[in-house]
Structure 1
Amino acid sequence: MSPLRYPILSLVLMLSLFACTARSTEDQVCFKRNCVDVSLAQTHEAREQGLKFVTRLEPNRGMLFIFPKSGQNNFWMKETMIPLDIIWMDYARRIIHIERNVPPCAIDPCPTYGPKKPALYVLEVNANHAQEMGLRLGGELEFKLKD
């Protein structure tokens, strides 16, 4: 056996543990094994701002909107610069509506998008990412939030 085998194995193990620890410091929304790191929009101001004026959203990133109570919670794309998938969830974090590849809107009137059922949570991700994650109506998402 090589004398370097155990130090290298130890280093690989430490780096793996560090990567797992670093990853878990982000707020995440997961569907099965597919996770997205999210920024949280929990206040009225943060929900109002959303992803307005964002010119690029990194892969596997998104924004989770958390509302104080369930409701229609319609969205529009005014002043949003990138196409998005928008996913609405009920109180149990079950997907009740998905709008895919919603285009930006620069000129009023901008269309609104939303579910027919009350939603408590909304997730915005890059266009087509919902399909890449395998998201579908009735799917249940898991939130891994720091707080």
Structure 2
Amino acid sequence: MINRIRTKMIKILSGNRETILTVHVADTKRKIKKGLMFVEKLPENEGMLFVFSEKRYGGFWMKNTLIPLSIAFIDSDGKILKILDMVPCEEDECPSYNPGHFYLYAIEVNLGWFEKNQIKEGDFVKLD
């Protein structure tokens, strides 16, 4: 259940546009590990912000994740480095979605949300 996690509003800047997204903040090892596992529905303009204590390299997987997601990997300046689409996985072995970059943050949203909102790699997230 994600409603027990702190939420905040963030702004994503793309050209002259500003898009507001409500995110559930995963900023502890436990919250990061659980992520959006077992969540059956994510409201349209909501997502999960993963906050790491230091830059990391490596990917995310979708084990026990029930809904398809898109993920943006973000550097310490808020720049979106890579956006990937991910599919649910209920198998014992699941693929990893690796951006090929070091990153400090990641945002998961419903599949296609970034594209629908014309947000692309190189855009910026204001995390305040």
- Give yes or no for TM over 0.5: yes
Identity %: 33
In the superposition, the TM-score normalised over structure 1's length comes to 0.76
Task: Point out 4+ residue stretches in structure 1 off by more than 6 angstroms.
Answer: none
Give me the whole-angstrom Cα distance separating, in 2, the residues matched to 1:115 and 1:75: 9
Following superposition, the deviation at residue 30 of structure 1 comes to 1.7
**2:102 maps to which residue?**
118
Give me the whole-angstrom Cα distance separating, in 1, the residues matched to 2:71 and 2:98: 9
**2:4 maps to which residue?**
none
Unmatched tracts of structure 2, length 5 or more? 1-6
**2:115 maps to which residue?**
131
Q: Of the two, which has the highest radius of gyration?
A: 1
**1:71 maps to which residue?**
56
Give me the whole-angstrom Cα distance separating, in 2, the residues matched to 1:131 and 1:106: 26
**2:125 maps to which residue?**
141
Give me the whole-angstrom Cα distance separating, in 2, the residues matched to 1:117 and 1:90: 9
Please tell me the residue identity of whatever aligns with 2:90.
A
Given that 2:84 and 2:99 are in contact with CA atoms closer than 8 Å, whether structure 1 keeps it comes out as no
1:30 and 2:20 are equivalent in the alignment = no
Please tell me the residue identity of whatever aligns with 1:88.
F
1:45 and 2:30 are equivalent in the alignment = yes
Deviations 1:54-91 (A, max 9, x none): 00001100000000000114100000000000110011
- Structure holding more helix per residue: 1
- Structure holding more strand per residue: 2
Q: What secondary structure sits across from 1:39 in the alignment? A: strand
Please tell me the residue identity of whatever aligns with 1:127.
L
Please tell me the residue identity of whatever aligns with 2:126.
E
Deviations 1:18-63 (A, max 9, x none): xxxxxxxx51222232111011000000000100000000110000
Give me the whole-angstrom Cα distance separating, in 2, the residues matched to 1:116 and 1:61: 25
**2:88 maps to which residue?**
104
Following superposition, the deviation at residue 109 of structure 1 comes to 1.4
Count of residues in Structure 1 that have an aligned counterpart in Structure 2 = 118
Two-structure CA RMSD over aligned residues (Å): 1.2
Q: What secondary structure sits across from 1:58 in the alignment? A: coil
Q: What secondary structure sits across from 2:116 in the alignment? A: helix
In the superposition, the TM-score normalised over structure 2's length comes to 0.87
